[in-house]
Structure 1
Amino acid sequence: MIEPLGAPEEPMRREPTRTGTRTFVLVYLTQLISLLGSQLTAFGLGLWVYQRTGSTTAYGAVALATLAPGVLAAPFAGVLVDHSARKAMLAGHVGAGLCSLALALLVQADAPRLWLILALVALASICNSVQFPGLSSVSPRLIPPEQLGRANGAVHLGTAVGQLVAPAAATTILAAGSLWTILLIDALSFLVASTMLLVIHIPPAQGAATTRVHWRGVFADAKGGWQYLRGRRGFIWLLALFALMNFTLGIAQVLVTPFVLGFNDMHVLGGVMSFAGLGMVTGSVLLLVWGGPRRGRIRAVLCFALVESVSLLLLGVLRPSAFLVAACAFGVLFATPLVVGCGQTIWQRKIPAALQGRVFGIRFLVAQGVLPLAFLLAGPLADHVFEPLMRHEGPLSTSVGAVLGTGPGRGIALLFVVLGLLSILGVLLAATSPRLRRLEEEIPDNDITGRRTSAELAECSP
């Protein structure tokens, strides 16, 4: 449990400085380095397990172990971040690096066991759970508020580049028969990130410098993030919208490969996926240069979410064509960093500094927690519900099939249409909420004097 040691003295007014901006760049680089290593391992290890076992279930288990434990641990990681973001991120890097090193030693000894691989991957996922709340809560302390949008653009650009580079790099290294090399690179990336964090000074959050952690009460403290959000319906609407968008895009992410292969080959699929990834890079670069709107960020989130949803809808409506699919996928991934980046700036500017770790941990749990469900539902929905409906003699072949076509892949097209309509409905419903529309006016920006933080810490105490 985090408890105040006494009434803190009035903190001095602190504004982010050039030194803070340089510190943010260093922190960002530590996260980027470890992220690239993690993405390399996630793709390479899953592919290696599939090659060794020939089991889709084993491949899916590795993917699930990479994501689910970290999502579940995020609220508790947020408690540690609120106490000391630097120590939490450092401990996360060290723990994840040791897991990668242990995996490398297992592979080198030619003694891997699937259960042991899954255990180490899950432990690494838990260690990495501090990184999102850590970087998200540190950024507002280091850089001026008007630069937060650009900083978020840089973060998404790093993610986009990693998603483009990691699969190709992992495949190339595995072709030489060396998973050990991938795991060693991952372990070294965590070592470099940890070393950089050791020499970085991150100022404590206002209201958090006079706190200590009681481990037995960490579950109670983790509720503080939810208690804060529960009383502010605008944030609940925003969080629900992001969860819905992640759910629909999660299903689409799984099914786009069989969708394209339904009318073309692997070479075309590679081109489509590369062009789609270029969309995410382009959106991230735009946010990095532009920084997002200075006012009306909620409107920007809703507008870009609508672009994302319509692009997903068109992915299913338009005729089977590699060019059209690539264009729609580009639109989806172009809008994604703009939606997330503009939304992230709102959270960073409005949530009190001493609560950001816990609130961002809850955000990660809710918004990312829907992804495992989406991944699990995607295949059965396509294979057992939508594809049978759109067969040449299927129940919808003469009605919906007259518009979308029938045959292999057209059931997935119908599912994309349903997902797009669901997302559009969610955006329009969110836009009707006065609490969401007025969120930026009703909730003040972070109070650097600490008075607002102290009051809201008391409100969120268990």
Structure 2
Amino acid sequence: MRYLSLLLVGALVNSVGSGLTAFGLGVFAYNTYGTASAVALVQLCAFAPIVLLAPLAGALADRFDRRLMMLLGDGCSVIGLGVVMVALGSPTPRLAYVLAGVTASSCFAALTEPALRASVSDLVGEEDYVRSAGMLQAASSARYLLSPLLAGLLLPVVGLRGLLVLDASTCLVTAACSGAVMRSVGRRRTGQWEGAGLSHHLLGGWRALSVRPGLRSLVGLMTVMTLTIGMLQVLLKPIMLPHVGTAAMGRLETVAAVGILAGAGLVTALGRLRPTTLLSLGAAGTGVSMVLLGLHVWPWWVALTGFAVFTFLGLCNAGAETLVRLSIDKDHQARAWGTISLVTQLGYLLAYLAAGPLADRLLAPLMEPGGALAPSLGTLMGTGTGRGAALLVVLAGVLTTGLAVLTHARRQILGGAAVEAQEPLEAPAVSAALQHHSV
């Protein structure tokens, strides 16, 4: 557990730096273009490479030392940040150049997540999986917990380029932590890609899903869950920035994100519950909280309901991660995480593509004074700027609550993969399906 904690320190510091850049670029996009679509486009370029390259990153993390992959991913992502800083140095920054730098940085950062998640199984025993899931969430989500407050205070002082410099500097801490763990535990033993080579090796994650019906159902549910959460991520600034300043927006996001710590603590306290129970309970709480968040623009209300969203989301993540860890042989988990990340996080990509146009072009006109929905919903939610985005968050919350009901109804299937993984299996078992192309 000591070595995992050291890796998580590096992940936490790097997460704070990434959050500074994400907050600054989000404010830049909204202030420059004034639409939810502009914010969504920046987030899409930051996130799409991480999702689309996840299977390749997972395969590389199974083939090579996972700590080395983390070091290379975080360190080389600085190149993309440099491109963004050069673009912002122009008197009239072009959004296309900024997006190109964000995309390049994310391509390198894609190497990190599958390697970090698989390192959990390398460094701790099964009895610590739930606890480790909570710690991993707390570290990786520091970008939501600490970064908005820091960015809101620093942005008026150092500017967006200053935030980018701080982000780039965090890679030094990450590199030191990853290097220390490599020296202490040694290089992870790896084999060679056999058979038909890398392309077949990349299919290992898909095979892991194909032989576990419960795992396929879990991945489907979590894909829809990421769609609804992605809607909230895109639309929170368009909902609140018309009513609060940059510093207040940072404080609001930080207060809401304290729920991440509460969620991690709640996961630890409820660690004896079945993973499927954590999953359904978390989805229900997340959905109800999203519905409530969209009803008012009072900062304290949004902070409180946002806190609840993050708290219950922690239960969802811990339940899902534990089910996956119990279902997949740990020697092949990186490629499985890569494939699972690709599938589930397509929900985020869809949210980033759809949330802006839906809010700006479809729902916003309906929620303007005199709009078609103003008479029926205006009394409950209000009308005007940002209310179309708020209505979309409410609808996403309703869908998330429906997922909780579906999760509870399918708990036997969702938990089946984990049960099967602990029983003696003949083909087609996950390990058997992957063994032909093992590293």
Instruction: Tell me if the contact between 2:327 and 2:420 (Cα under 8 Å) persists in the aligned partners.
Output: no
SS at match of 2:192: strand
1:41 to partner: Cα distance = 2.7
Alignment pair present for 1:306 and 2:287: no
For 2:322 and 2:368, the matched residues in 1 are separated by 46
1:376 to partner: Cα distance = 2.7
Which residue identity lines up with residue 230 of structure 1 in the other structure? S
Q: How does 1:1-80 map to 2 (within 5 A)?
A: 21-45=1-25, 47=27, 61-80=41-60
Which residue identity lines up with residue 310 of structure 2 in the other structure? L
Call closer, same or farther: CA 1:214–1:41 in 2, change over 3 Å. Answer: farther
1:59 to partner: Cα distance = 5.8
For 1:97 and 1:446, the matched residues in 2 are separated by 46
Which residue identity lines up with residue 284 of structure 1 in the other structure? A
Question: Which residue in 1 is equivalent to 2:364?
Answer: 387
Instruction: Tell me if the contact between 1:389 and 1:395 (Cα under 8 Å) persists in the aligned partners.
Output: yes
Alignment pair present for 1:327 and 2:307: no
Return the index of the structure with the highest Cα Rg.
1
Which residue identity lines up with residue 361 of structure 2 in the other structure? H
Question: Which residue in 1 is equivalent to 2:324?
Answer: 347
Task: Tell me the alpha carbon deviations over residues 142-194 of structure 1, each in whole angstroms, 9 at most, x when there is no partner.
Answer: 11222222222222222343323323433444433455543333333213322
For 1:105 and 1:414, the matched residues in 2 are separated by 38
Question: Which residue in 1 is equivalent to 2:234?
Answer: 254
Q: How does 1:224-239 map to 2 (within 5 A)?
A: 224-239=204-219
Task: Tell me the alpha carbon deviations over residues 272-331 of structure 1, each in whole angstroms, 9 at most, x when there is no partner.
Answer: 4343222223212333x43x4235111111111111112223334x56655444332222
Q: Percent identity?
A: 30
Instruction: Tell me if the contact between 2:149 and 2:250 (Cα under 8 Å) persists in the aligned partners.
Output: no
Instruction: Tell me if the contact between 2:40 and 2:353 (Cα under 8 Å) persists in the aligned partners.
Output: no
Task: Tell me the alpha carbon deviations over residues 185-208 of structure 1, each in whole angstroms, 9 at most, x when there is no partner.
Answer: 333321332233233235677xxx
For 2:244 and 2:28, the matched residues in 1 are separated by 23
1:229 to partner: Cα distance = 0.3
TM-score, normalised via structure 1 length: 0.80
For 2:39 and 2:332, the matched residues in 1 are separated by 37
- Count of residue correspondences: 429
Which residue identity lines up with residue 137 of structure 1 in the other structure? A
Alignment pair present for 1:88 and 2:64: no
1:296 corresponds, among 235, 256, 274, to 274
1:394 to partner: Cα distance = 3.9
SS at match of 1:212: coil
Q: How does 1:73-222 map to 2 (within 5 A)?
A: 73-84=53-64, 85-101=66-82, 115-177=96-158, 179-201=160-182, 202=185, 209-213=189-193, 217-222=197-202
Call closer, same or farther: CA 1:383–1:65 in 2, change over 3 Å. Answer: closer
Q: Which shifted more, 184-193 or 348-357?
A: 184-193
SS at match of 2:53: helix
Call closer, same or farther: CA 1:38–1:214 in 2, change over 3 Å. Answer: farther
1:232 to partner: Cα distance = 0.9
Alignment pair present for 1:431 and 2:379: no
1:73 to partner: Cα distance = 0.7
1:416 corresponds, among 376, 385, 393, to 393
1:44 to partner: Cα distance = 3.2
Question: Which residue in 2 is equivalent to 1:223?
Answer: 203
1:135 to partner: Cα distance = 1.1
Question: Which residue in 2 is equivalent to 1:3?
Answer: none
1:413 to partner: Cα distance = 4.6
Instruction: Tell me if the contact between 2:131 and 2:271 (Cα under 8 Å) persists in the aligned partners.
Output: no
Instruction: Tell me if the contact between 1:70 and 1:125 (Cα under 8 Å) persists in the aligned partners.
Output: yes
1:333 to partner: Cα distance = 1.4
Q: Which shifted more, 145-154 or 78-87?
A: 145-154
1:460 to partner: Cα distance = 6.4
1:42 to partner: Cα distance = 3.1
For 2:367 and 2:253, the matched residues in 1 are separated by 25
2:222 corresponds, among 242, 250, 257, to 242
For 1:159 and 1:348, the matched residues in 2 are separated by 18
1:68 to partner: Cα distance = 1.0
- Please, which runs of 5 or more residues in structure 2 have no aligned partner? none
Q: Which shifted more, 319-328 or 162-171?
A: 319-328
For 1:188 and 1:66, the matched residues in 2 are separated by 19
Instruction: Tell me if the contact between 2:150 and 2:250 (Cα under 8 Å) persists in the aligned partners.
Output: no
For 1:115 and 1:265, the matched residues in 2 are separated by 28
Instruction: Tell me if the contact between 1:228 and 1:460 (Cα under 8 Å) persists in the aligned partners.
Output: no
TM-score, normalised via structure 2 length: 0.84
Call closer, same or farther: CA 1:171–1:308 in 2, change over 3 Å. Answer: closer
Which residue identity lines up with residue 78 of structure 1 in the other structure? G
1:129 to partner: Cα distance = 1.0
Call closer, same or farther: CA 1:241–1:199 in 2, change over 3 Å. Answer: same
Instruction: Tell me if the contact between 1:137 and 1:348 (Cα under 8 Å) persists in the aligned partners.
Output: no
1:134 to partner: Cα distance = 0.8
Which residue identity lines up with residue 29 of structure 1 in the other structure? V
Instruction: Tell me if the contact between 1:152 and 1:344 (Cα under 8 Å) persists in the aligned partners.
Output: yes
For 1:133 and 1:304, the matched residues in 2 are separated by 23
For 1:421 and 1:91, the matched residues in 2 are separated by 41
For 2:43 and 2:397, the matched residues in 1 are separated by 25
Call closer, same or farther: CA 1:186–1:443 in 2, change over 3 Å. Answer: same
Q: Which shifted more, 102-111 or 322-331?
A: 102-111
* RMSD after superposition: 3.6
Call closer, same or farther: CA 1:390–1:135 in 2, change over 3 Å. Answer: same
1:107 to partner: Cα distance = 6.3
Question: Which residue in 1 is equivalent to 2:347?
Answer: 370
- Please, which runs of 5 or more residues in structure 1 have no aligned partner? 1-20
Task: Tell me the alpha carbon deviations over residues 235-292 of structure 1, each in whole angstroms, 9 at most, x when there is no partner.
Answer: 1111111111111121123333444467x544875664343222223212333x43x4
1:121 to partner: Cα distance = 2.5
For 1:428 and 1:177, the matched residues in 2 are separated by 47
Instruction: Tell me if the contact between 2:50 and 2:109 (Cα under 8 Å) persists in the aligned partners.
Output: yes
Task: Tell me the alpha carbon deviations over residues 416-437 of structure 1, each in whole angstroms, 9 at most, x when there is no partner.
Answer: 3322222222222233333214
